[in-house]
Amino acid sequence: MHRIIIGVSGACGMPIAEELLKNILKVPNTETHLVISRGSERVLQSECHSGTEILTRYAHKTYDAKDMSAAPASGAWQNAGMIICPCSMSSLASIASGAGMNLIHRSADVTLKERRPLIIAPRETPLNLIHLRNMQLVTEAGATIMPFAPAFYNNTTSFKDMMQYFSGRMLDQLHIEHNLCLRWGDDIH
């Protein structure tokens, strides 16, 4: 069983987080452990006209972002890695500086110290130099920066198809086998 920590911070992009969780459910032997920040609750209301239940229904376990003693805060708790999607620039800055302000930040810090994969899907545009430097810091610490960037070689046009591809590419970074995306060199028309 592959345990995956999913952090959802207060950045724009809640439909991306929802589709990611739905897609991971399609992969056998995976278990999602969800942490939703307080800031994301407001964005969920704005973007999806819903509360956290739109995300929690796809998770195997959900943790309160204030609970710094939850399982993902410990390096002894075994997991395959962590995805933060979407990742706000505030969360990115907290992770880059090592300031664990909530369970998402602490889990990311533990993921890095345990040398497990940490995938960060930043949601901001344009980027300023502070954002870029924070991305450089977390990359140097071992994280992978992975903004939502759909592939077009597979002729996808729907958001759901683009998200399925993106979800698969994220799982690739966690070294988890899946059938979510067509790969370059596969039977592409």
Give the pLDDT of the chain (189 residues) as one tens digit per residue: 999 999 999 999 999 999 999 999 999 999 999 999 999 999 999 999 999 999 999 999 999 999 999 999 999 999 999 999 999 999 999 999 999 899 999 999 999 999 999 999 999 999 999 999 999 999 999 999 999 988 887 788 899 999 999 999 999 999 999 999 877 777 655
- Bridge partners (DSSP) of residue 118 are 82
Residue 42 lies in a domain: yes
Report the alpha-carbon distance of residue 122 to residue 118 in Å, rounded: 12
Is residue 76 included in any domain, yes or no?
yes
- Spatial CA neighbour of 154 closest among 116, 114, 180, 182: 182
Q: Is residue 179 part of a domain?
A: no
- Contact assessment for residue 65 and residue 104, using Cβ atoms and an 8 Å cutoff: yes
Residue-wise over 23-34: b if at least 16 C-beta within 10 A, else e?
A: bbeebeebebbb
Q: Which domain holds residue 81?
A: 2-173
Strand 61-64 and strand 2-8: pairing?
Answer: unpaired
Per the domain annotation, does 99 fall within a domain? yes
- CA 172 to centroid of chain Cα atoms: 13
**CATH classification at residue 47:** 3.40.50.1950
Which pLDDT belongs to residue 151?
81
Burial category of 69 from C-beta neighbours within 10 Å (exposed 0-12, middle 13-18, buried 19 and up): exposed
Q: Chain centroid to CA 181: how far?
A: 17
- N- to C-terminal Cα distance for the chain? 35
Residue 184 placed within a domain: no
- At residue 157, the pLDDT reads 84
Closest residue by Cα to residue 37 from 79, 89, 111: 89
How many residues are there in the chain? 189
**Could you tell me if residue 183 is inside a domain?**
no
Residue 188 lies in a domain: no
Count of domains in the chain?
1
Say which amino acid occupies 74: S
What's the pTM value of the predicted model, to 2 decimals?
0.95
The identity of residue 166, as a single letter, is: F
Residue 155, pLDDT score: 81
87 in any annotated domain: yes
Instruction: Check residue 188 and give its pLDDT.
Output: 54
